[in-house]
Homo-oligomer: A and B are copies of this chain.
Amino acid sequence: MVSIVIVGTGNLARQWVDSIEGIEGYNLIGIIGRTDEALKHFEGKTALIKLDEEIPQADLCLLAVSDDAIHQVSLGLSGFRGIIAHCSGSVHIEEIARQGRRAVFYPLQSFTSGMSMRLSEVPICIEVENNADLEVLKQFAGKLSTRVEEINSEDRKYLHLAAVYANNFTNHLYSIAQEILKKKNLDPTLLEALIQHTAVKIKTMSAREAQTGPARRGDSKTMKTHMAMIDNEVYSEIYRLLSQSIQTVYHEEL
């Protein structure tokens, strides 16, 4: 039986709690939070422990806290003898204070409040300080997902950067598109099929091959018309810059 404690009470901590529940051979023995209020959500699921209380020993401690808190929180774990793994894309493994069994257990996904999800296709990116810990984390990750990857801190940083483009920025473009429709009293769900199709297409071809649209075709008349239609200066600048970037990529073909 592998015993686990989780530090943190946010979206990711909730995801871990929901995911660990029901995996045979893994036992969540406690969740550690700053306040009773924050811990309330987990009542009845596992032991609730305040950050200033003594933390129980376990095979693995998952630090599901914000990037900025990782170092500080790990300072308080000096007596913990198991593996300590943070779950961040952008934080170096060495930010964990206690040396010896530091690790990273990073799920490449964006977790939203109130929405636990199946992790089966989510890459879980693992890094260890102590090679003997690798197998433990790999086996645990393998229970959660079919995609387990060993990735070091340097590469993980780039993976996280790429994820910001593919998720955060993409979502903001969805938001701009929905705003444009709402302003004209058009139903934002009109875009749903298009958005799904755009995402699904990258499973069969590279995004570079899949590119279409006025900028890809060098259709400057449509681009000009579009920019004149946008009354938000920042959104208009986004249109200009992204069109320019697309045209740079396909320059030689035009």
A interface residue numbers (CB < 8 A to B): 67-68, 90, 108-112, 115, 117, 121-123, 147, 149, 151, 155, 157-159, 161-181, 183-184, 186, 188, 190-208, 210-216, 219, 221-222, 225-226, 229-230, 234-235, 237-239, 241-242, 244-246, 248-249
A208 and B178 form a contact (CB under 8 A)? yes
**Residue in contact with A178 in the complex, picked from B90, B206, B221, CB distance below 8 Å:** B206
B162 and A191 form a contact (CB under 8 A)? yes
Pull 15 A–B residue pairs with CB atoms less than 8 Å apart, ordered by A.
A67-B221, A90-B222, A108-B190, A111-B212, A147-B190, A158-B180, A161-B230, A166-B198, A168-B211, A168-B214, A171-B210, A171-B212, A172-B242, A177-B207, A178-B208
| Residues of chain B within 8 A of A90, CB atoms compared | 222, 225-226
B158 and A181 form a contact (CB under 8 A)? yes
Greatest chain B CB density within 10 A among A111, A162, A167, A239 is at A162
In the assembled complex, the Cα of A125 lies from the Cα of B78 at a distance in Å of 63
Oligomeric state, in copies? 2
A229 and B158 form a contact (CB under 8 A)? yes
Closest 8 CB pairs of A and B: A168-B213, A199-B199, A174-B207, A175-B207, A166-B177, A162-B177, A165-B177, A162-B180
| Residues of chain B within 8 A of A67, CB atoms compared | 219, 221-222
In the assembled complex, the Cα of A239 lies from the Cα of B245 at a distance in Å of 12
In the assembled complex, the Cα of A152 lies from the Cα of B204 at a distance in Å of 34
A191 and B108 form a contact (CB under 8 A)? yes
A164 and B207 form a contact (CB under 8 A)? no
Distance in Å from the Cβ of A14 to the closest Cβ of chain B? 14
| Residues of chain B within 8 A of A184, CB atoms compared | 155, 158
B234 and A238 form a contact (CB under 8 A)? no
